[in-house]
Structure 1
Amino acid sequence: MRLLVVNVNTTESMTKSIGEQAAAVASPGTEIVPLTPAFGAESVEGNYESHLAAIAVMETVRAHSGDFDAVIQAGYGEHGREGLQELLDVPVVDITEAAASTAQYLGRSYSVVTTLDRAVPLIEDRLALAGLSARCASVRAAGMAVLDLERDPEAAVEAIVDEAVKAVTVDRAEVICLGCGGMSGLTERVVARTGVPVVDGVTAAVAVAESLVRLGLRTSKVRTYATPRAKHFRAWPPVLATP
């Protein structure tokens, strides 16, 4: 089984970290193929960058020459999953939805801890669109940028843990979801401080994608995610180098 794990930003070190986290939980025989978009922002922290990332992810996957059995979109609260499902008939798993759906097996309510406050509405909208918001106690922001996870990891971890503790003690969340692909690897530290289950979206998405492939399930092409109709596009698509 081969899974494409696509970072939504263009920071190669973050793609590497996401790929390593995915590979750590993949089943024997599952190959993880990390991909970095061919264009876009170094970090995705708002609607403009998210819409741009959606196009970049779709075109990067479309340009990929190898075979694959499923795609994981490794961006929290980002746009684009629906477009990928139109382009592909293999399963497409978004880490936002994978984390939230997994959390609902573990407790009555869950909270998401993300990076900047401006990302909160995007995550709330994604959860609502996916029908996963009813049991969301809160979406909290740690107040640091995505790339701060690499620039100042200790301060970033402390900020994330502090918000997770508040989500449990103030918002009464019973499960925490780590609300950024770059937070992969922080699970144990958050568990130690909160005492509740902590779900990482990347690892949850790997488990979901593997399950869908093993069950022989594919994206429905009857209506919503039907293959795009053939038509003329002016100066599109861009020519991308094959990874």
Structure 2
Amino acid sequence: MRIVVTNCNTTQEMTEEIVRGARAVAGPGTTVTGLTPAWGPESAEGWLDSYLSAAAVLDTLRTYDEPYDAVVMAGFGEHGREGARELLDVPVVDITEAAAHLACLLGRRYGVVTTLERSRGQIEDSLETAGVGRNCAGVVATGLGVLDLHDTDRTVRAFVDAARRVRDAGAEVLVLGCAGMTGLQQVVAEKVGVPVVDGVGAAVKLAEALVGLGLETSRAGTYAKPLAKQRVWGRGGGASA
């Protein structure tokens, strides 16, 4: 089985970290390939970054010509999953909804621990669209930017503090709200005392299950194939602020 994992930003080091986490949980016989968009934001933090990231990821998947059986979209709360499902003929699993769905199997209410405060609205909207928003006890920000997560000690302290706050608000299960947090689930679970779900791991296992069961995206309506028409993609303009 071949799974492609798409980073939502252009930071190659983050792609490599995500792939390490995905390979750690992948079953025997599953290969994981990471894709980094050639253009877009270096980190997705806010509505503008998210929409730009979505277009870049779709462009990356559109032009990737190696065979694969499923796609994992590794951007928590980012846009693009519905477009990818229209575009591709393989299952597409988004880490946001994958983590939330698994969390709902472990407790009645879950909470999300994420990076910046500005990401909360996108995550809440994504969970509502996925049909699991009503089970969310809250989305709590650590105040750390995506590119700050390399500082392990600082990251752990911030996440444990935020995790305790959302646990005290009623969360029985926690979800790590950023692909760059892969690997933190065990230490956070030990310190906070509730199960912690990592979205990358959850998405990889769900992708394996869908492929193993022979299930594909429904074309009966919402995710019907895109209408045949001319579409002009980006011309490769220069970088801007």
- Alignment TM-score > 0.5, same fold: yes
**Cα separation, partners in 2 of 1:87 and 1:148, compared to 1, 3 Å:** same
What SS is found at the alignment partner of 1:144?
Answer: coil
State TM-score, norm by structure 1.
0.95
Answer whether contact 1:89 1:220 (CA < 8 A) is retained. no
State TM-score, norm by structure 2.
0.96
Matched with 2:33 is 33
Report the alpha carbon displacement of residue 86 of structure 1 after superposing the two structures with TM.
Answer: 0.5
Matched with 2:219 is 221
Q: Which runs of 5+ in 1 are unaligned?
A: none
Q: Does 1:134 align with 2:134?
A: yes
Matched with 1:209 is 207
Give CA-to-partner distance per residue, 1:152-210, whole Å, 9 cap, x none.
221122111100011112x1211000000000000111011111100000000001000
Give CA-to-partner distance per residue, 1:23-58, whole Å, 9 cap, x none.
000000000011101111110000111001101111
Instruction: Give the alignment's Cα RMSD to 1 decimal.
Output: 1.0
Report the alpha carbon displacement of residue 227 of structure 1 after superposing the two structures with TM.
Answer: 1.2
> Residue type of the partner of 1:5?
V
Q: Does 1:143 align with 2:143?
A: yes
**Residues of 2 paired with 1:50 and 1:176: CA distance?**
23
Over the matched positions of the two proteins, sequence identity in percent amounts to: 55
Matched with 1:24 is 24
Matched with 2:123 is 123
> Residue type of the partner of 1:229?
L
Answer whether contact 1:11 1:43 (CA < 8 A) is retained. yes
What SS is found at the alignment partner of 1:147?
Answer: helix
What SS is found at the alignment partner of 2:133?
Answer: coil
Alignment of 1:148-159 (within 5 A): 148-150=148-150, 152-159=151-158
Q: Which runs of 5+ in 2 are unaligned?
A: 237-241
**Residues of 1 paired with 2:34 and 2:230: CA distance?**
31
Report the alpha carbon displacement of residue 238 of structure 1 after superposing the two structures with TM.
Answer: 4.8
Report the alpha carbon displacement of residue 82 of structure 1 after superposing the two structures with TM.
Answer: 0.4
Matched with 2:78 is 78
What SS is found at the alignment partner of 2:67?
Answer: coil
Answer whether contact 1:9 1:53 (CA < 8 A) is retained. yes
Give CA-to-partner distance per residue, 1:49-86, whole Å, 9 cap, x none.
10011011111011111101000000000000000001
**Residues of 1 paired with 2:41 and 2:116: CA distance?**
16
Matched with 1:162 is 161
- The structure 1 segments of at least 4 consecutive aligned residues displaced by more than 6 Å after TM superposition are none
